[in-house]
Structure 1
Amino acid sequence: MTPLHTVLMPMSPTAIRRRVGYRLRELRGKAGLTTIEAAAVIRGSDAKISRLERGLTPLRPGDVQLLLDRYGGVDPSERDLLVQLAGESGRRGWWQAYELPEWFNLYIGLESAASSISNFETLLVPGLLQTADYTRALVRQAQPTATAERVDRVVDARLKRQARLTGDEPLQLRAIIGEAALHCVVGTADVMRAQFAHLARMSKSPNIELRLVPFSSPAYAPYGRPVVILDFPEPDDPGLVYFDHLGKGVYVEDEAQIATHRQSFEMLVGGALSVEESARLFADRG
């Protein structure tokens, strides 16, 4: 595990929660305690301990102190840092200024902490690769009563998320787009042409693997639903699988199920067009 003294305060609060949570998980394992036994220390549930260790719930400095007292094996300097970081984990992320749904705030926080993302979209262009006009048209179609201010806020938030794709340590993105997205019109024909041209440009980025999976692929139908697999910097972190479902975010945390989703994603990659073929197809439509 990366030494905690390398954790800097500018990290997102979600990244801090995951870093501290995984250290607590490591210490609990060394102490030989189950999640049920750890939960009793803070008068919580084993589900709470599990979510705390995965960075899916806010950290309370008092809870962290109690757990560290029970686990032992931590020198004073690391203990102080863990408690300090627990307090920092409550900071508001930049995304919370955009008044997005709370369930989506959690996802953006996890996305901001991820080092790589694997995303399959069946009907739409992945959010991280959408143009502003495509996003604007999509929001207007999905939320016809939304005010212009509300639409602009959603577009601005999406563009800010896309900043992770550039910079000194860009997010690694593997994006598989279903053929249906070519035919699902969002906005006007001009909006779609500009979107395809943007995909052709983005496919040239060294940190982006962009492929189209055709209807004829044997992997298309079995998977059949959008999915995001998030991976994080810690080498022992199994990652998370995320779905949008009925207006809320659903997370898969079981390691065996995550492995199954990874296998399915690789089947999609194997059944998709090559990066070069996909780029040419997008360019032809742009």
Structure 2
Amino acid sequence: MEMEDIYDSIRTFQAQLVPGLLQTPKYGRAVTVASRAWQTAEEIEQFIQVRLARQERLTGEGQLELWAVLAEGVLRQRVGGPTVMRDQLEHLATMAEQPNITVQVLPFSRGAHSGMFGPYLLMSFPQVSAQDLVLTETPTGNIWTEGESEVVAYRGLFDDARASALPPKESLTLIRRIAKEHRP
């Protein structure tokens, strides 16, 4: 059983790239190739197919709630070239219109913020008694955090990030505007 099968919401802060659950195949492929974590075309393709299968939790039965706060650099980093980036941002905007998905952008103009130390995913489970988990992805593997005090600290970091970010509608406008800037 995959983790996606048991948790019901994710809150994530991303400083450098679009969250995997919102990536297009071409964007995901460009990120995967650049990471050097996968060596062969077969390994890369397998990773992309697993990612696409996981994305079904956003649209299928028992939809996952996703709240993503993205640093503005995520929208401006040209991953895969201008066409790939434009298509990715258009996809991000489309997904952000879904009722179970919230996307906010933390603009450069906000200055220093609590998310500057790196990205993370905060996962919640439907059982009231279940403790949230935090996932930090690194180039050499994943770090899981489940201690109550650490999880509470990450909740606070996420609340700070979303309070500093643009509201969802303004974020959507910015995403669409930057998508137009990524013309080949």
Q: Give the TM-score of the pair, scaled to structure 1.
A: 0.59
- SS of alignment partner, residue 238 of structure 1: coil
Unaligned regions of 5+ residues in structure 2, if any? 180-184
The structure number with the bigger radius of gyration is 1
Alignment of 1:82-231 (within 5 A): 109-143=2-36, 146-217=39-110, 220=113, 223-231=116-124
Post-superposition offset of 1:223: 4.2
User: 233, 254, 259: which is aligned to 2:152?
Assistant: 259
What's the % identity of the aligned pairs?
35
Residues 223 and 279 of structure 1, relative CA distance in 2, 3 Å threshold: same
**Aligned AA for 2:34?**
Q
Change (3 A) 1:149 1:244: same
SS at match of 2:3: helix
Matched, 1:243 2:136: yes
Q: Is the 8 A contact 1:214 1:220 kept in 2?
A: no
Distance in 2 separating the partners of 1:246 and 1:126:
15
1:149-202 residue CA offsets vs partner (Å, 9 max, x unmatched): 222111111111100001231000011111111222211100000001001101
Q: Is the 8 A contact 1:130 1:195 kept in 2?
A: yes
Helix, strand or coil for the counterpart of 1:119? strand
Q: Secondary structure at the match of 2:123?
A: strand
CA distance in structure 2 between the aligned counterparts of 1:228 and 1:144, rounded to whole angstroms: 20
Segments of 4+ moved more than 6 angstroms: none
The letter of the residue matching 1:188 is G
What is the RMSD computed on CA atoms of the aligned residues?
1.8
Q: Displacement, 1:118? A: 0.5
1:40-86 deviation line (CA, Å, top 9, x unaligned): xxxxxxxxxxxxxxxxxxxxxxxxxxxxxxxxxxxxxxxxxxxxxxx
Tell me if structure 1 keeps the 8 A contact 2:35–2:139: no
What are structure 1's unaligned runs of at least 5 residues?
1-11, 13-108
Question: In the superposition, relative to structure 1, how do residues 167 and 123 fare at CA in structure 2: closer, same or farther (>3 Å)?
Answer: same
Partner of 2:182: none
Query: Larger relative CO (CA 8 A, sep 6+): 1 or 2?
Result: 2
Distance 1:246 1:203, change over 3 A: closer
Kindly state the Cα deviation for residue 252 of structure 1 after the two structures are TM-superposed: 1.5
Instruction: Tell me, in whole angstroms, the C-alpha distance in 2 between the residues paired with 1:192 and 1:239.
Output: 32
Structure 1: how far apart are the matches of 2:33 and 2:107?
Answer: 28
Query: How far 1:111 moved relative to its partner?
Result: 3.2
Equivalent residue number for residue 20 of structure 1: none
Partner of 1:280: 173
Matching residue's letter, 2:168: V
Give the count of matched residue pairs. Answer: 179
Contact (CA 8 Å) 2:10, 2:66: kept in 1 or not? Answer: yes
CA distance in 2, matches of 1:256, 1:163: 32
SS in 1 for 2:68: strand
